[in-house]
Amino acid sequence: MEHFWSNCLGYIQNRISKQTFSTWFKPTRLVSLSKEDAVISVPNKFFKDWIVENYTDIIQEALSHFLKNDVRATIVERNNLPSINPEKSSKQKDDHELFNKESSQSLSRQTLNLHPKYTFGSFVVGNSNKFAAAAATAVSNNPGTCYNPLFIYGGAGLGKTHLLNAIGHQILKKNSNCKLHLIYAEEFMNALINSIRYKKITEFKEKYRNIDVLLIDDIQFIAGKERTQEEFFHTFNALYENHKQIAITSDKFPNQIPGLEERLRSRFSSGLIADIQPPELEMKVAIIERKAMENNISITPEVAMYISSNVSSNIRELEGLLIRIGAFSSINNLEIDIDLTKRVLKDLLLDVHREISVDDVLNCVSSYFQIKVSDLKSHKRFQTFAYPRQIAMYLARTITGSSYAEIGAKFGGKDHSTIIHAVRKIEKGKQNNTKLASTLNAIMEEIKKSVYKV
Ligand code: ADP
Ligand code: MG
């Protein structure tokens, strides 16, 4: 295999520049190969993202050239390798994985679900997340006893999954025998569906009810899915009654997850609820500096400050930008200074600064609250409509910069004084109502996602 891969590398080397080759291809390894699939490992996420984005084609071309067959290349991070079984293709792996002789032993193997890098050590704590971080630490040190369940909520890319993984690592560090399971709510649903399909529902129940710690990510996903909610409810109760720790993340506060059953809502609210807010500037700088260090990218404080002040609060995005800057500098063999940073970010930022319209706001607010745009524009006074309407007016004013009159027109011909009233009300409410503040953030993230496609 090694020999085969060095042939492929030779092929690639002849087609790209020396600098590019030594930066990106020297550290690659072929970890598995079949007639149609090849898995190539790279040192970290930074490499993975860049190679997937830029060199998948040439890798596939090289593989196909030597194998005389169409080959699909999968790039993986070396750190994540233990969870990949080189004997099987990833597709085979997914199919029945959950029900192949499930035992507590195979369950403990699943702790490999934990992301190796998402630990407390790599989690930067600041004002916006210190409460959630402290709660997560407390739970890790005394699982099942202090806060149960722990419910962490916050906008996209703010570190919920990271914290959930950190809890897992910390618990296992103290007690490696602990049967701990981290699962995305979506996976939980898929596993349930498979168990029904393959008539393995008893195994499913046993599996999830016989663990010590359940960490469940993005619970909002099960909203509206009745059967999954029901099964989750029973799993929850079984674990809870046996004093097993449960930690849950969500992009919304329990009461604001539309389509979530009341009984789950009240269970989720019965422990400790901790929010994560978007980071302020100083914290963004600290995070960028930390990520730069982790990825061996050297940047000056000015560059960290520049990036932090020009991009949104989504930490995932921040990281993505940093990676691009690092890649650009390494390919061109240039130091990262403000000019280079501006150059790399220019296209992206231009793109990002396409104007958000009042219609974008209306669409996102309506889908967030699951009401019609026409209700937002209407004069109906029920709280179900009036509150989202005021939020939409506030966001329209703060994000789009349209005049009060323009916004009034877009809201079914309302007077500018109505808009002013709504904006003031929400502005004031946001000061001492953290739930409202986080709702506003969550909707902002949705708007950005829908407009910028990030
Ligand atoms: P969420 O689950 O809230 O959408 P993630 O936990 O996936 O967000 O975080 C997105 C990225 O940002 C991850 O790479 C994570 O490591 C990083 N991140 C988020 N918050 C922090 C933090 N406080 N310190 C360090 N990295 C963070
Ligand atoms: Mg997440």
Instruction: Check if the beta carbon of residue 229 is closer than 8 Å to that of residue 222.
Output: yes
128, 316, 441, best to mutate for ligand 1 pocket (most atoms within 8 Å of CB): 316
Rg of the chain on CA atoms, in Å: 25
Tens of pLDDT along 28-73? Answer: 999 988 888 899 998 877 788 888 888 898 999 999 988 888 888 9
Regarding the beta carbon of 162 and ligand 1, being less than 6 Å apart is answered yes
Element (H, E) at 448: helix 434-452
Ligand 1, residue 45: give the atom nearest the CA.
14
Question: How sure is the predictor about 163, in pLDDT bands with cuts at 50, 70 and 90?
Answer: very high
Taking the C-alpha atoms of residue 122 and residue 214, their distance in angstroms, rounded to an integer, is 22
Domains in the chain with CATH codes = 2-110 (3.30.300.180), 130-276 (3.40.50.300), 281-345 (1.10.8.60), 358-452 (1.10.1750.10)
Q: Which atom of ligand 1 is nearest to the CA of 125?
A: 23
Q: How many angstroms separate the first and last alpha carbons of the chain?
A: 38
How far is it, in rounded angstroms, from Cα 133 to Cα 120? 8
pLDDT at 342: 83
Counting beta carbons within 10 angstroms of the beta carbon of residue 286, is it exposed (0 to 12), middle (13 to 18) or buried (19 or more)? middle
The first and second tokens of residue 313, run together, are 């609060």
pTM attached to this predicted model: 0.61
Q: Is 442 in the pocket of ligand 1 (CB under 6 A)?
A: no
Tens-place pLDDT, residues 324-359: 888 888 888 889 998 888 888 776 665 445 567 899
Mean pLDDT, residues 438-452:
84
Name which residue sits closest to atom 23 of ligand 1, judged by CA: 124
Counting every residue, how long is the chain?
A: 454
> With 70 as the cut, is the pLDDT of residue 439 above it?
yes
Model confidence pLDDT, tens digit, residues 128-138: 999 999 999 99
pLDDT of residue 372: 95
Distance 160 CA to ligand 1 centre (A): 7
Q: Can you tell me the mean pLDDT for 236-253?
A: 96
Measure the CA–CA gap between 56 and 44, rounded to whole angstroms. 16
Q: Is the CB of 214 under 6 A from ligand 1?
A: no
> What average pLDDT score do residues 182-193 get?
92
Q: Indicate which residue's Cα is closest to atom 20 of ligand 1.
A: 159
Mean pLDDT along residues 68-93 = 60
Task: Compute how many other C-beta atoms are within 10 angstroms of the C-beta atom of residue 184.
Answer: 17
Q: Is 143 exposed, middle or buried (0-12, 13-18, 19+ CB in 10 A)?
A: buried
CA 162, CA 254: separation in Å to the nearest integer? 20
- For ligand 1, atom 19, which residue shows the shortest CA distance? 159
Say if residues 128 and 283 touch (Cβ distance below 8 Å).
yes
Q: How far is CA 216 from the centre of its chain?
A: 13
Encoding tokens for residue 243? Answer: 């004093």
Shortest CA distance to 208 belongs to which of 244, 173, 172?
Answer: 244
Confidence band, pLDDT 50/70/90 cuts, at residue 453: low
Specify the ligand 1 atom closest to the Cα of 249: 2
CA-CA distances (angstroms) from residue 227 to 97, 189, 193? 21, 9, 9
